[in-house]
Structure 1
Amino acid sequence: MSHFVLDARHLLCPMPVIRAQNRIAELAPGDTLEVHATDPGALHDIPAWCRVHGHEIVSVAHVDKEVSITLRVGGTA
């Protein structure tokens, strides 16, 4: 299992979710992806997308104007 970081800062909805989706498609189940975004909608959109697609939210942090969401890739990657 590996850990990866995705910089989706300064992208507007729906691009943070699309970039996360594209990156997850390249990862193996059990890998983690840490997504950094400045679009506040990512706080809702990425966890909602993960629920639908079987990925687990590991942590969510919101510091100043940046969101950091770490997720674990599920078996449907």
Structure 2
Amino acid sequence: MSEAFDIAETLDVKGASCPMPVVKTKQAIDDLAEGSVLEVIATDSGSMSDIEGWAEGTNGVALLEQVDEGDVYKHYVEKTD
């Protein structure tokens, strides 16, 4: 399903634990243009709830999809404004 997204940038935060996946995601999304999609690749299982919670509580971003591949978690975040 993620192939449907036009990914502007991929952020690799494998090996980082809370709160770094969210911190790095925020930094990366701030640098993108409106409408751009950021793919975040993490190994911290907590990133599933952390990034979801951050996106829900943050204006200007939308969490499009999360994929649990077992030991790798992929998040697709769109900058909406």
TM-score, normalised via structure 2 length: 0.86
Question: How many aligned positions are there?
Answer: 75
| Structure 1 segments of 4+ aligned residues over 3 angstroms from their partners | none
TM-score, normalised via structure 1 length: 0.90
1:26 corresponds to which letter in structure 2?
Answer: D
SS at match of 2:57: helix
In structure 1, C-alpha distance between the alignment counterparts of 2:80 and 2:47, rounded to whole Å: 19
5+ residue gaps in structure 2? 1-5
Matched, 1:39 2:44: yes
5+ residue gaps in structure 1? none
Per mean C-alpha deviation after superposition, the further-off stretch among 1-10 and 36-45 is 1-10
In structure 2, C-alpha distance between the alignment counterparts of 1:27 and 1:68, rounded to whole Å: 18
Per mean C-alpha deviation after superposition, the further-off stretch among 1-10 and 57-66 is 1-10
1:49 corresponds to which letter in structure 2?
Answer: W
